[in-house]
Amino acid sequence: MTDHAGTLNIEEFRAEVVEALSAVAVRRSDERSQWGVGDDRVSVVAERSEGEDEELAALRAYRAHLVACGLGWVDGPAQFGGRDLPAEYAAALRGLEAEFDLPDDSCLRFSVSTLTPTLLAHGSPVQQAAWLTRLRSADLVACQLYSEPDAGSDLAGLSTRAVRDGAGWRLNGQKVWSSGAHLSDVGLCIARTSPDKPKHAGLTTFLIDLDSPGIEIRPIRQLTGGASFDEVFLTDVYVPDERRIGEPDAGWSVVVTSLLNERSAIGTEVGVDEALVERLVDLARHVGDPLDERTRDAVAQIVTRAWAARLTTARFLEGGGVPGPELALSKLLATDLLRTMSDVTADILGAAHVADSGEWGTYAWSELTLGLPGLRVGGGTDEILKNTVGERVLHLPKDAR
């Protein structure tokens, strides 16, 4: 069977995927989860846990299995182990994966969905050959080193410096909100290389080894009690010039590409899960008053908007290719819907939302509420994304800078 859309039927491909997944995982039951049975967590925020190393090892074993089955990069170039199939085949794989009990792959989201297409667009042939296959197989885990404490939402206002040092560069600065840095091997870092140029024009990107001398990674404790984010300190970190991505002082174009792909990942992978919506419906049935018209209307609005958000994102991604600025809407839709869900659950639960009575499926919703501020910041704040939609999608006049 050849890997061309004209000869590989999508149903044959789906059968191939099911066979590969069935060899390493159990298919989930079609039965709806029962109220009061199993884990009652409802958080959509990744958390650091004591078993992270084992989870990462299981994830790497699963990704290695996909690669061995020819499913490591369905829509990727054949020269890097891909199948050169259309985007709909990759979407079919993701949909089938959701039907199986597989290792959590949230720590690979940046490596696979953001860094891989960024390297395809801006990496040299040598860099692509060295890193793309390893990123897709989870042999190499990457994180993002963009945000800084003093820059806020103005990413181009960063102060981390990179200065020429022989055949490489010396980096000094601090990065913050780096998801999964403690699990990562490398980080895509942006630094200022020409302070005399306009702020967007004097930046350069590097893929740096996180075990390099001078790098310190510290966890950031979240409101939820978890610590999936980190702050990363760089003190005289030496980076060879071959780790530079793109030309010197042209890093902003690399960042823009990565952010567009990050929004695409958020839209397709971090949207509101159907199971979470079902849990809210169950909450209204078992804890709230199912006959209360106000509650029924609020829950119905959430169910409808969740479907609309999924369909809207699917339309944005039709045909594959580089995602556009309209993907900012997908994240705005998802975070706004989660905020609404948090408000509705708080209204249904009352005091049980903030005081743990031990009753199943009640206080657990507080974790979503506490994690929501981080979701509204990660991948671009709501305000920045609204500017993106206004200026780059609706073509409204730009705000005064």
User: Which residues are catalytically annotated?
Assistant: 262
| CA Rg value for the chain | 22
Give me the torsion for CA of 137, 42, 366, 152, rounded to 10°: 30
Which residue carries 């709806």 as its tokens?
A: 32
Q: How far apart are CA 42 and CA 136, in angstroms?
A: 29
Q: How far apart are CA 163 and CA 270, in angstroms?
A: 37
Q: Where are the beta strands (DSSP E) in 66-153?
A: 142-145
Handedness of CA 255, 60, 58, 181 (dihedral sign): negative
Give me the torsion for CA of 87, 263, 176, 42, rounded to 10°: -90
Q: Is 174 helix (H, G, I), strand (E, B) or coil?
A: strand
First to last CA, the chain: 56
> What's 144's DSSP letter?
E
CA-to-CA dists, residue 62 to 31, 101, 111, 232, 314, angstroms: 25, 11, 15, 29, 26
Q: How far apart are CA 75 and CA 91, in angstroms?
A: 9
CB-CB contact of 224 with 371 (8 Å): yes
- Report which of 235, 173, 166, 238 is spatially closest to residue 203, judged by C-alpha positions: 173
Single-letter amino acid, residue 250: A
CA-to-CA dists, residue 384 to 68, 198, 266, 391, angstroms: 41, 20, 15, 11
